[in-house]
Amino acid sequence: MYCIAGFAGTQLWSPRILLIGTHADQAPATMLRRNGRGETELVNNASLITSLQTSFGAELIITPRVYIVDARQASGADMKALRAVIGDMKQFHCQVVL
């Protein structure tokens, strides 16, 4: 059995975790904001990611962003960003290691 180490000692084939919040239209306005690209962001995004990295960073690969999507807007900037990151993850998993 081969053990391939990735960045900072994490395993290369560790599970990759995406944090996705749905129904942005129903969330309190004080918890969300819009960034320069028009995407919805969680206000305390950094503290949530830091807390998860501290607890689970050695076992999991956690994306450094929380994706907040409005389920009623399939063609919005938030869904485009989510599709892009899922496509990148799919491309990574489809690569063959020789």
Q: Look at residue 44 and give its three-state secondary structure.
A: coil
pLDDT digits (tens, 9 = 90+) for 35-77: 787 777 788 878 888 998 899 888 888 888 888 887 777 787 8
Q: How far is 87 from 98, CA to CA, in rounded Å?
A: 22
Return d(Cα 62, Cα 15) in angstroms, integer. 8
- The single-letter code of the amino acid at 62 is I
State how far the Cα of 30 lies from the Cα of 95, in Å rounded to an integer. 41
Nearest to 9 by CA among 57, 63, 65: 57
Domain boundaries, the chain: 7-94
Least confident of 8-12, 14-18, 73-77: 8-12
- pTM for the model stands at 0.69
CA–centroid distance for 3 within its chain = 25
